[in-house]
Amino acid sequence: MQQVLSYIQKHQNDFLNNLNECLRIPSISVSPSHVSDVARCADFLAQRLKEMGMKRVEIFPTKRHPIVYAEWLEAPGHPTVLVYGHYDVQPVDPLNEWVKPPFEPDIRGGRLYARGSVDDKGQVYIHLSALEAYFRTWGRLPLNVKVLIEGEEEIGSPSLKNFLKEQKNLLKADEVIISDTPMLDREVPSICYGLRGLCYMEIHVSGSSQDLHSGMWGGTVENPVHVLAGILSKLKDKNGRILIPGFYKDVYPLSKTERRMLARLPASEKKLLKVTGSLKFTGEKGFSTLERMWARPTLDVNGIFGGFSGEGSKTIIPAKVGAKVSMRLVPDQDPDKIASAFKKHVEKISPLTVNVKVIKHHGSRAFLERLNHPIFEVAKRALEKAFGKKAHFIREGGSIPFVRTISDILKKPCVLLGFGLPDENAHAPNERLDLVNFFKGIEGMAYFYGDLAKWKV
Ligand code: BES
Ligand code: ZN
């Protein structure tokens, strides 16, 4: 083990340079103009996995973006882990808010700035670097490893469900390991045992067949913007309760024990609020901030489009308008049921003076681990050894569709060891990754794989 750790110490720059090469590829999965970049990133990763020493490196094409798979299964009698991550990234707009171009990695103040640095290429490279350290020192891995890196996570993983079902045998493992979540705070190593699910919808409201002069027609026909504002205002009440009938029906209540556990976590509301830059936290009455962030379902309007919003003024009654609305779900809400309930509710509260269309985008179920498997203690100790700090079990409010799906298919523990920080601007301009966390993360994973290998199967 000492050999592996000193290899990691000595090769920090190499690990960083390898990651930077990957960060230079603009693998934006949602953007049709980047399809070939996403494919190039998959090829690049496959090449990297081969160079490291992984076997059976394969690229599986899908309808949109390829899945990269690699394995090394030469440790009979030892466990097999499935390591998951994603190499696709979010778009970079607003581009002018980036201090340096998003695909030209730049180190400032101990942080690596680039799109994908924390979400999720940097965290994928934590695992690849730890594995590489074993290959270069021991000439082998301490346990059997399968690696799955997808290119569609940021668009809801549309191809993954079928792929996982079809490749159930290929992906068989004793446990699943994922790094795509933040830590609770700097110096608070964290293992995440719950993620929220998602149901993403879009509402279109149209009135006249084209924009109308508001002087000629104002006061005679319906204005779709007003109708949409009315619909949106009827989705939640003033206490933050969502008004869609049946919305809370399948929500697991928080147990007293868990509420106590969450209340004891070393989280500072003041610090969290500062990250957001908002004036005050708000939300569903009767729940703490962490409970609302992690364990309660929510509804948010992501954007409104249509009508005139250019410079100056233009006097029109817009013909059409729309909004994107997403709901974060908790166990055991079903995204399909929630989507139908949403559609029914919106149609019911819409006036007959306009056409209202409700479209469903992607959905994924929430994930909650019971933490009664001994692997969670092993993970906790590995992080504590690397960080020299007490590790904590947390939940998160974001979604990773893969996790619930693989957990249902394999029925094996999923361990989410996150190395991001809440203020690292995932999905926003100037995304970054703390380099201390990157290097400690590599050490932590070297310990974790080493400790897990001691289990007999
Ligand atoms: N890394 C995030 C997931 C995440 C974010 C977990 C914050 C915990 C806290 C992931 O890349 C992501 O952004 N997922 C999307 C999924 C969606 C498009 C289905 C999300 O949560 O919006
Ligand atoms: Zn993301």
Kindly report, residue by residue over 153-176, the tens digit of the pLDDT.
999 999 999 999 999 999 999 999
CA distances from residue 91 to 40, 103, 428, 431 in whole angstroms, order as listed: 17, 11, 9, 11
Q: Are 321 and 206 members of one domain?
A: yes
Q: Are 313 and 372 members of one domain?
A: no
Q: Is residue 103 part of a domain?
A: yes
Q: Is residue 321 part of a domain?
A: yes
Is the distance from CB of 303 to CB of 323 less than 8 angstroms? yes
Ligand nearest to the CA of 398: 1
Residue nearest to atom 8 of ligand 1 (CA): 398
Q: Is residue 65 part of a domain?
A: yes
CA distances from residue 285 to 58, 238, 250 in whole angstroms, order as listed: 49, 9, 19
Q: Please give the pLDDT value at position 456.
A: 78
- 129: containing domain: 2-195+366-452
| Distance separating the N- and C-terminal Cα atoms of the chain | 21
Residue where a domain stops, chosen among 308, 329, 363: 363
Residue where a domain stops, chosen among 363, 396, 420: 363
Q: Are 336 and 447 members of one domain?
A: no
Number of compact structural domains in the chain: 2
What span, in angstroms and rounded, lies between the C-alpha atoms of 306 and 103? Answer: 31
Nearest to 150 by CA among 160, 142, 140: 160
Ligand 1 and 400: CB distance under 6 A: yes
Q: Please give the pLDDT value at position 370.
A: 92
Ligand 1 and 406: CB distance under 6 A: no
Ligand 1 and 153: CB distance under 6 A: yes
DSSP states along 291-337: HHHHTS-EEEEEEEEES--SSS---EE-SEEEEEEEEEE-TT--HHH
Q: Is residue 236 part of a domain?
A: yes
Q: Are 115 and 53 members of one domain?
A: yes
Query: 429 alpha carbon to ligand 2 midpoint, in Å?
Result: 13
Q: Please give the pLDDT value at position 135.
A: 98
Q: Is residue 284 part of a domain?
A: no
CA distances from residue 160 to 35, 78, 401, 445 in whole angstroms, order as listed: 17, 27, 9, 25
Q: Is residue 268 part of a domain?
A: no
* CATH number of the domain within which 175 lies: 3.40.630.10
Q: Are 151 and 219 members of one domain?
A: no
CA distances from residue 451 to 1, 9, 329, 385, 455 in whole angstroms, order as listed: 10, 19, 34, 11, 8
Q: Which atom of ligand 1 sits closest to the CA of residue 155? A: 18
Ligand nearest to the CA of 404: 1
Q: Are 302 and 240 members of one domain?
A: yes
Q: Are 333 and 416 members of one domain?
A: no
Q: Are 129 and 169 members of one domain?
A: yes
What span, in angstroms and rounded, lies between the C-alpha atoms of 60 and 57? Answer: 10
* CATH number of the domain within which 315 lies: 3.30.70.360
Q: Are 300 and 398 members of one domain?
A: no
Q: Is residue 274 part of a domain?
A: no
Q: Is residue 384 part of a domain?
A: yes
Q: Are 94 and 188 members of one domain?
A: yes
Q: Are 154 and 211 members of one domain?
A: no
Ligand 1 and 23: CB distance under 6 A: no
Per residue of the chain (457 residues), what is the pLDDT tens digit?
Answer: 999 999 999 999 999 999 999 999 999 999 999 999 999 999 999 999 999 999 999 999 999 999 999 999 999 999 999 999 999 999 999 999 999 999 999 999 999 999 999 999 999 999 999 999 999 999 999 999 999 999 999 999 999 999 999 999 999 999 999 999 999 999 999 999 999 999 999 999 999 999 999 999 999 999 999 999 999 999 999 999 999 999 999 999 999 999 999 999 999 999 999 999 999 999 999 999 999 999 999 999 999 999 999 999 999 999 999 999 999 999 999 999 999 999 999 999 999 999 999 999 999 999 999 999 999 999 999 999 999 999 999 999 999 999 999 999 999 999 999 999 999 999 999 999 999 999 999 999 999 999 999 987 7
Residue where a domain stops, chosen among 323, 342, 363: 363
pTM of the model: 0.96
What span, in angstroms and rounded, lies between the C-alpha atoms of 171 and 149? Answer: 12
Q: Are 435 and 326 members of one domain?
A: no
Query: 293 alpha carbon to ligand 1 midpoint, in Å?
Result: 13
